[in-house]
Every structure is written in structure tokens, then in C-alpha cells.
Structure 1
Amino acid sequence: MSLRGIASLTYWADDVVAATAWYTEFLGSGPTFTRPGPDGRLSYAAFDLDERTRLAIAARTAAPFSAAFEPGGVIGNWWVDDLDAVLERLASMGAKEYIPLTPHGPVVSAAVVDPFGNVVGLVSDQHPAADFRRGAPPWNA
């Protein structure tokens, strides 16, 4: 048994319609799958980011009882090439800094909180603050 990669990350929102519109604007394309809830309003939207990874927006009312809704805990990091540009775009769309740019040897990471309270982690091996003198990251070995 082994983990092969992230299949999907689920972000929770009180207003799935607004969150879906926000992520459609940010990602540049709409969801590939949607599902209405019992009240007929959109309760789930999924964005296929590549052939294996999906970002899902789900109604907060469908979350497990013990789910934490405040930023914190596990942070899923998305690979990006131009970390500064992505951070600038997210900020222009109302996201707030959660973790500032932080070098980690050959990569640099940062995280923001979207307008719906979800932490969006970002990581890049292309950022000028990455320390390439350490060689290739171990996952490329």
C-alpha cells in the first residue's frame, strides 16, 4: 500500500455558489462537475486541475460534525511556477496572508486564507529565494 498523490482537496463554504464563482475566476475555468443539495441550491462543485487532481467546493453543512472551520491544521500546498504572481492575484481577489513567503531549501512556500475561510497553500521551486545550491529536492531522486 502506498499513497500515490492527492486525488482531491475539499474546501468548505457557506455559499457554494459564491465560492464556485470565486474559484472559477481564479482558476480561469469553471467546475467540471456540480451537484445541487436538497434545497436545489448548488452544494458541491469540482474543478479538475489535471488528469489526477480535483479541487472540490462543498457546502459547510455537509462537513463532518467535528470539522474545524478556522484556518489551521493540515495545509495542502499547490505547486505553482510564479509564486509572487499567484500571491498577488489571490490578494487582489480578497485572500489574506496566512503564512508569509518561507524558504525551505530548494522550495519556497506561502499560504493565504480565501474569502470563505479555507487555507490555500502554495509551493514553488522556481522562486528566487529557493536555495538551489542544495541540489535537487529528494522527491526528484
Structure 2
Amino acid sequence: MLRGVATISIYAEDHAAASAWYTEVLGIEPYYQVTGYHEWRVGEHEDELGLIDAAWAPPNALGEPGGAVVLWHVDDLEAAHARLLALGATPREPITERGEGFRTAVVVDPFGNLLGVMQNPHWLEVRARRGGTAGPEAVGGA
């Protein structure tokens, strides 16, 4: 039934500031832009991250961060976590050992969205099976 992530949508009341922040975090410009919606293709799988103006949010979608947390694979968890904090994110869950090579951290972006980063051995295994390299040159970004 579920075939893969198509788009991860987040909301921000200050759409312009949030777009600038995510452009800085990701190191790339959004590939798609219309009024109130910007979208980036992230990593070699080109996972889509969509930023939506909060004026278009469904009822009760804004407020305290909660619910599902998307965890993005990174090669250097400490560096990615530190960079997010330096760019204005606030800590939500510190770097945590999960066992068997899994490590996670969660921050709240300056616009109230949860953003997770993770070192994930399974992600690296899948990448290697697909014929890619598992190093930083392959995954890039935070």
C-alpha cells in the first residue's frame, strides 16, 4: 500500500522567513515555488519537502509541535544537530543512542515544526544495495 514518501508538508506563519531558513539548512533553492508554497527535492532520492503558508493549514494543525516526527538520515549527527541549533532551531530531544547504530535527535524549527535527524544503518544498507556510495558525497546536507 505505502510505496514511499511523496511529500512531507510543514507549515509556517512567516512563509518567506521559513523558506529562507530551509534554503539555508538544505543548501539548495526550492525547485518549485508558487505563492504560499515552496518545495525542495532533498537528497539523492529527491524526497520532497513542502513548505506551506500557515494560512492554508487545516484547523488545529498549528500550535504545540507534536505527532509524527520525520527523521532525515545524516552522515554526521553531531554536526547536523549543532548546525540546526546554530541556525535558530531549539532542542526538543537530544542526541539519543537507540542501539545497533541508530542515533536520533529532534529539534523544533524557528516556525514550530518538528525536524528529526538520524544516523540510520538501514538507510545506508539500502543505499549501498542500490549501487550508491554511503558516504557524505552521496547523502549531502543536513
Which residue of the other structure, out of 115, 119, 123, is the alignment partner of 1:124?
119
Q: CA deviation at 1:123?
A: 1.1
Unaligned runs of 5+ in 2: 127-142
Alignment root-mean-square deviation, CA = 2.1
Cross-structure match for 2:37: 44
Cα distance in structure 1, aligned partners of 2:94 and 2:78: 11
Query: Is 2:110 aligned against 1:110?
Result: no
The residue identity in structure 1 corresponding to 2:25 is F
Q: Is the contact between residue 7 and residue 52 of structure 1 (CA under 8 Å) also seen in structure 2? A: no
Query: Which structure carries more helix by proportion?
Result: 2
Q: Is the contact between residue 95 and residue 114 of structure 1 (CA under 8 Å) also seen in structure 2? A: yes
Cross-structure match for 2:66: 72
Q: Is the contact between residue 108 and residue 125 of structure 1 (CA under 8 Å) also seen in structure 2? A: yes
The residue identity in structure 2 corresponding to 1:111 is V
The residue identity in structure 2 corresponding to 1:27 is L
Deviations 1:25-45 (A, max 9, x none): 111111000111xxxxxx010
Greater C-alpha Rg: 1
Q: CA deviation at 1:69?
A: 2.8
Unaligned runs of 5+ in 1: 37-42, 127-135
Q: Is the contact between residue 46 and residue 56 of structure 1 (CA under 8 Å) also seen in structure 2? A: yes
Cross-structure match for 1:20: 19
| Paired-residue identity, % | 38
Higher relative contact order (CA 8 A, sep 6+): 2
Q: CA deviation at 1:52?
A: 4.2
The secondary structure found in structure 1 opposite 2:118 is: strand
Which residue of the other structure, out of 69, 93, 101, is the alignment partner of 1:99?
93
Q: CA deviation at 1:75?
A: 0.6
